[in-house]
Structure 1
Amino acid sequence: MTSRLRVRRKARRTQTLLLTGLFLTSAVLAPVTASAAPKPIYQDPKQPVAKRVDDLLRRMSLDDKLGQMVQAERNGATPAQAARLRLGSILSGGGSSPAPNTAESWANTYDAYQRAAVDTPLGIPTIYGVDAVHGHNNVWGATVFPHNVGLGAAGDPALVQKIGRATAEEVSATGIDWDFAPCLCVVRDERWGRSYESFGEKPEDAIRNSTVINGLQGGSLNGPASVLATAKHFIGDGGTTGGDDQGNTEISEQELRAVHLPPFQEAIKRGVGSVMVSYNSWNGVKDHGNKFLITDLLKNELKFGGIVVSDWNGIDQIDGQTGFTAAEVSQSVNAGIDMFMVPHDYVKFLTLLRAELNAGRVAPSRIEDANRRILTKKFELGLFERPLTDRSYLETVGSKEHRDLARQAVRASQVVLKNDGVLPLAKKDNKIFVAGKNANDIGNQAGGWTISWQGQSGPAIPGSTVLDGIKAAVGKSSTVTYDREADGIDAGYQAAVVVVGETPYAEGAGDRPDDLSLDAEDLTTLAKVKATGVPVVAVLVSGRPLDIAKQLPQWNGFVASWLPGSEGAGVADVLFGDYKPTGKLAVSWPDSVAQEPVNAGDGKTPLFPHGFGLTYPRR
């Protein structure tokens, strides 16, 4: 050690001792010279939430209060911009992910917004939302569970609650505290492009599976890995005429209450923290501007005390024109929406809302109500005490435990609709040919809302395909041959598994108003296999029932696999009898697209009725 270094270190020690002495002296003298400023009530976690909210509201400026009502997109507002405008929330829409798309990167992004928010004078934390609708599906490496159409067929509320808990853990690992799920829509017409987001065609299907709310939110909102759940979309989106996404639901109030309202009543009983308003109209009036639905029915009659949030740019559609106006802002605020998802036009929204308030077209009490609801949930979530990511949950993202749970959900969701004895397949001494565009495509089997909004074919996520599961299931004495288009198949095979169906889509692009048929590739592949005389097991990967009545007689076995997600091996578990099928249809299967809409109790005779599903005979 050089003498110069010794001198520097001695100087540092002397400086430290002097500072310590000054600190101790001031600490001793402090009670004598001045009393410490009392902590604001809103910063005291021992105080009741309502009292904390009251205290904070008294301290907030109008800028603070208007900002709390806005939710902006991650790629539309930086942390600094969001903090400067006091924005209450940030979201990542479908496909809006940081680079690289890892759980750690998501956590870093979340923490950046949160640090900026709590560094403002009042330190009000943000709340970050995401569409984790079948697992934390925007994050690479996360567990991707079956979409709701499959979980509805599984008929296992306890399993669905476990899926909610697993999803909450993976979402919490990235810091995010608000999930825009579950969708409690009651699908009444499978031509609708969001059919796979529904648990089924009866209100009981959604009611039964609303246990996912308990899984997401846990025992209490301030508990470990608790994520604010969202019941959506309020109300009637599954009942539009013709299955038209964001269309018009032309039904009586009696039918609205009988079919579409009960799942939301159940969600409120379960303590759901937020409700998202639907894009659709009800008898010609857009839900986003309908005061009867949002305030009179949801808030007053049903006593919902949480946050009412708009859908993405939902207020734009009230007058049928592109972009929102001052009139649409005041109408939607007065209708009862509390948080406005205006991803990129948040400055315009704030300007118009202030003007409408100053003009007397929006009452101050409405601003107070919205803020009270938003702040209450932020306090209940513990965001003021624990604003940053709990990274101890990072190890849960895509964990074996969660993937095993997802595989169990895949098994339970399989619905065997036809079996002339070909199922279950033998594992030993068997020669199996596998074909079809969905046999070895994990993107297709995951569907929409997977990494990107509309989803994508190909290696979109890690996991196992149906083909992977089949290859892993057979014994050494069996062979499995695969060709997507069934080239090379001959009569020497004992069975052929042909995995057909849909490719990924989300709302809008997924509407199929005129045709629910298999595509040309599927039909060609099936015909090629059938021509060999090999027994055919058709496995349908799709977000809804398709029009297969004409092809069904040509198949020896038929399995509805829905959209199984990342664990395609669960399909093979049923095909080979490791798990006896228990799935039952939660939708009526039409005998043709012309029969839509077809639902239980409407007097029509579907190809397969709601509740139908075969199992294997005992051996």
Structure 2
Amino acid sequence: MHEMLRKRIPITAGMLLILVCISVSISIVGATQANNVEDQNMAYKDPSKPVETRVEDLLKRMTLEEKLGQMTQIERENATADVMQRYFIGSVLSGGGSGPGGANSNATAKQWFDMVSEIQKASLGTRLGIPMIYGIDAVHGHNNVYKATIFPHNVGLGVTRDPELLKRIGEATALEVRATGIPYAFAPCLAVCRDPRWGRCYESYSEDPKIVEELTSIIDGLQGEVPPNWQSGYPYLQGKKRVAGSAKHFVGDGGTVNGINENNTVIDWEGLLKIHMPGYFPALKKGIATVMVSYSSWNGVKMHANHELITKYLKEKLQFKGFVISDFQGIDKITSPPHANYTYSVEVSINAGIDMIMVPYQYTEFLDTLKDLVSKKVVPMNRIDDAVSRILRVKFAMGLFEDPLGDSSLENEIGSQAHRELAREAVRKSLVLLKNGKDPKQPILPLPKKGGKILVAGTHADNLGLQCGGWTISWQGESGNNYTTGTTILKGIEATVEKGTEVVYKENPEKGSLKDGGFSHAIVVVGEVPYAETKGDSLNLTIPHPGPNIISNVCEEVKCVVVLITGRPVVIEPYLEKIDALVAAWLPGSEGQGVADVLFGDFPFTGKLARTWFKRVDQLPMNVGDKNYDPLFPFGFGLTTDGSSSGSPSPSSNTKPPKTKVETKAENQAEKEERKAQRQEEKALKQEEKDMRKAQRLKEKETRKEEKDMGKVEKQEGKEEKRELKETQEEKAKRKATKQEEKDKRKQERQEEKKKKQEEKDKRKQERQQEKEKRREEKDKRKAEKHHEEGKNDEI
């Protein structure tokens, strides 16, 4: 009997195993079929469906937590798999200098690609599999990445006035950004810099809004050209070799008082439309995916809290359908000091119309605060749905749901020879020849390649970091040749001259050391040190030490060409008589060979100033068309290599600057009629805006009445709800009081600052007077001593 049982056990176990396997197989098949049915019912996963259908389908499936996560952009160092999945994070960024391995790590394109891919895989592992969007500041090439091509900053590109060149630069930048797995660039900057004291002036193409408008062609390169009849304001992206762009910083960032970064832009509506808004009109027509808000204020209202401009004008009037993103910790700066009332900052920024918040570090506080505001109906649910719909629309337009992981085969695009040649071309076209010979009839440029002995001097001649400027590898930029790859101006000169021509490099020659050196010419390369944003704000705009000394020491002894490496016009008039030839090279980037190409005549000088070059800082702000326009070099000025000029015949002359499309003093009758028609059109637009705001106020009044009536009904539903409503009203009153306190505080701070500046001014005036008196006393003393000495000699 036992033997029979032992024989049956294996048979029974085997049958059970077979039954289990069949059951599991049926379960798997059933689950797969169920998943397939579920996928078929998920319209958002079907690329054949219209984008709006996919957005609507996905939005209705999302929880509040998933929606708020989509509105959150965090720094890559915080983007662990756990954080991405726990908080449903919608976007990640690299701040300036932030990459794999930390700041300035010289990470390869593959390391960047792998990092972005791992973060993306975490996002795809969430319940709905919504891909994140990774963004980076690629403002003059893929400038955070080692070995990437660094193009000239915008201040130089504006000089070219070449939309086709800008389009090609956009294409090259997009390829290099995509090579690292990143699909989103925080570019282009459409600021119209009206005061060079601003630390971000080099990010602006020009003081002329027409030039800024024309050079939005870079968007065609970054995102691809929209098809005919594309709906203006609707986001567009042409395939996996392009990147989503961001028009920034909306709006008026280049017009702040005294050029102070993040300050107040004081200008009327007509002026805002005419000077600071023109770049955004073509950007929307070109399908720009996102718009980034400015840190600055417009007539005292922080742009991050400006509902009228963000929602009423940009979204409703201009019909922008992409998403609006804050700047880095931008909502914190709504209050003074920053982050002083974070609940208020979150409330007003979201209600103003910002869809995605760049909150690199304090993302949990942001999410908790926003969720609480939504639960209390301070931020309405339809505002959340609008924001998330816009973010999803961009992600669908980018093809992220179909191809979330990028293309690793693009790795060799980083710093490719073709891109470096393009950057070299851009450098050549961005140079402006401001002076060519002390006697214009005897120009010294182009320099001879053959024979002679050439001195190259200056702090910026053999320094890639200084040559590239801010926003290169790190946020503030670096000094030295170890941070990226390229060609310094010195190396470009050495590669250009013919055999037998001696090139001698002395960074800072001592006074009197060059007379017997036998130099036929000297090239002095000096300028500003790298900076970004507020750290670049300047009250004096002088060339940093030892630049002025180098100019004097060299140019007093050798026939010299001075090449300025600066992010803006600087004080140069005191040295102008000593200089034989003067070239503005701006911040040329990694390809210094382009400077040598033009100095030695392989290509001509063609650049024309895209901004006014002042004589003295006390003239600022001074822009073309201003009443008291008396520049050192006027807007549009630029000599060609043969000494001719498209601007004034001499830099210090009082002749009028070359006429431009924005000049207000044209004498032609047709232009007068055109301006009259334009004023009438702008007046009509202004009235239309006024009527729109009036209608909106009536609408909001009706909405408030409806909410009030609804509140009365809700009061009857329970004592607890009544108490909650009372708390909400108290919080509202508290916020209002806090807002008034902050307003009063800012007013007091401005008054104190004004008083302090006046005191400092008076103090400096007094010190100058005392110094003057002291010099006079010393002079009288020396004179008396001289007479006394002469008297003694007579006695002897």
Give the TM-score normalised by the residue count of structure 1: 0.93
SS in 1 for 2:279: helix
Distance 2:542 2:163 in 1: 32
In 1, Cα distance between the equivalents of 2:91 and 2:30? 40
Residue 461 of structure 2 aligns with which residue? 439
Residue of structure 2 aligned with 1:327, choices 339, 344, 354? 344
Is the counterpart of residue 396 in structure 1 residue 413 in structure 2?
yes
Q: Determine the C-alpha separation between the residues in 2 that align with 1:185 and 1:516.
A: 20
Separation in 2, partners of 1:251, 1:58: 43
Is 1:577–2:606 an aligned residue pair? no
| Conserved? CA contact 1:530–1:554, under 8 Å | yes
Counterpart in 2 of 1:63?
65
User: Pick from 266, 271, 294: which aligns with 1:255?
Assistant: 271
CA apart distance, 1:77: 3.1
1:343 correspondence with 2:366? no
Q: 1:303 to 1:401 in 2, by over 3 A?
A: same
Are the aligned partners of 1:110 and 1:389 in contact in 2 as well (CA < 8 Å)? Answer: no
Q: In the alignment, what sits opposite 2:325? A: 309
| Secondary structure class of the residue paired with 1:402 | helix
Contact 1:433 1:489 in 2 (8 A): no
User: Contact 2:144–2:472 at 8 Å: present in 1 too?
Assistant: yes
Matches of 2:35 and 2:519, distance apart in 1: 88
Number of residue pairs matched by the alignment: 595
Runs ≥4 residues deviating over 6 A: none
Which has the larger share of helix?
2
> What is the rounded CA distance, in whole Å, between the counterparts of 2:261 and 2:34 in structure 1?
65
Match of 1:463 among 482, 486, 510: 486
Moved more, 330-339 or 219-228: 219-228
Residue in 1 aligned with 2:134? Answer: 128
Task: Tell me which of 581, 605, 620 is aligned to 1:596.
Answer: 620
Structure 1 residues 78-477: aligned runs within 5 Å: 78-99=80-101, 100=105, 101-219=107-225, 221-323=237-339, 325-420=342-437, 421-459=443-481, 460-477=483-500
CA separation of 1:85/1:471 partners in 2, compared to 1, >3 Å: closer, same or farther? same
- Aligned partners of 2:299, 2:92: CA distance in 1, in Å? 32
What's 1:12 paired with? none
Query: What does residue 524 of structure 2 align with?
Result: 498
Q: Provide, for residues 294-330 of structure 1, a one-character-per-residue CA deviation record: whole Å limited to 9, x for no partner.
A: 0111111111111100001111111222215111111
Deviation at 1:289, TM superposition (A): 0.3
Structure 2 partner of 1:5: none
Per-residue deviation at 1:357? Answer: 0.8
> Contact between 2:552 and 2:575, CA under 8 Å: does it hold in 1?
no
The RMSD of aligned alpha carbons is 2.0
Distance change in 2, residues 1:279/1:34 (3 Å): closer
1:530 deviation in Å? Answer: 2.2
**Paired residue for 1:509?**
535
- State the 1:76 CA deviation: 2.7
**Cα distance in 2 for residues equivalent to 1:222 and 1:270:** 12
Q: Distance in 2 between matches of 1:450 and 1:107?
A: 19
AA paired with 1:213? Answer: I
Shift of residue 35, structure 1, vs aligned partner: 10
Alignment deviations for residues 562-618 of structure 1 (CA, whole Å, 9 cap, x no partner): 000000110011100111011111000001111111100002111111111111129
Alpha-carbon distance change, 581 to 62 in structure 1, aligned in 2, over 3 angstroms: same
| Distance in 2 separating the partners of 1:30 and 1:254 | 65
Give yes or no for contact 2:156–2:431 (8 Å, CA) kept in 1.
yes
Task: Compare 298-307 and 183-192 and name the one that shifted more.
Answer: 298-307
**1:276 aligned counterpart, secondary structure:** strand
Offset of 1:26 from its aligned partner? Answer: 8.0
Per-residue deviation at 1:542? 0.4
CA distance in 1, matches of 2:469, 2:78: 26
The 1:616/1:72 distance shift into structure 2, 3 A limit, reads same
3-state secondary structure, aligned to 1:554: coil
Letter in 1 for 2:281: Q
Deviation at 1:58, TM superposition (A): 1.1
The answer to whether the 8 Å contact 2:436/2:643 transfers is no
- 1:519 — aligned with what? 544
Q: Report whether the alignment pairs 1:552 with 2:576.
A: yes
Q: Tell me if the contact between 1:67 and 1:85 (Cα under 8 Å) persists in the aligned partners.
A: yes
Query: Which residue of structure 2 lines up, in the alignment, with residue 541 of structure 1?
Result: 565
Report the Cα distance in structure 2 between the residues aligned to 1:90 and 1:164, rounded to whole angstroms: 22
In 2, the alpha carbon distance for the partners of 1:573 and 1:83 equals 53
Correspondence for 1:47 among 46, 49, 69: 49
Deviations 1:417-459 (A, max 9, x none): 1102110000011311000000111100100000000001111
SS at match of 1:66: helix
Which residue identity is paired with 1:74? R
Give yes or no for contact 2:151–2:423 (8 Å, CA) kept in 1.
Answer: yes
Change (3 A) 1:484 1:35: closer
- Comparing 461-470 with 97-106, greater Cα deviation is found at 97-106
CA distance in 2: counterparts of 1:202 and 1:297, whole angstroms? 23
Task: Tell me by how many angstroms 1:519 deviates.
Answer: 2.4
State the shift of 1:474 in Å. Answer: 0.2
Q: 5+ residue gaps in structure 2?
A: 1-17, 226-235, 438-442, 645-796
Structure 2 letter corresponding to 1:307 = F
Question: C-alpha deviations, 1:69-117, integer Å up to 9, x for none?
Answer: 0000012332321221001100000011112521111101100110000
Structure 1 residues not aligned, in runs of 5+: 1-17
Secondary structure of the equivalent of 1:75? helix
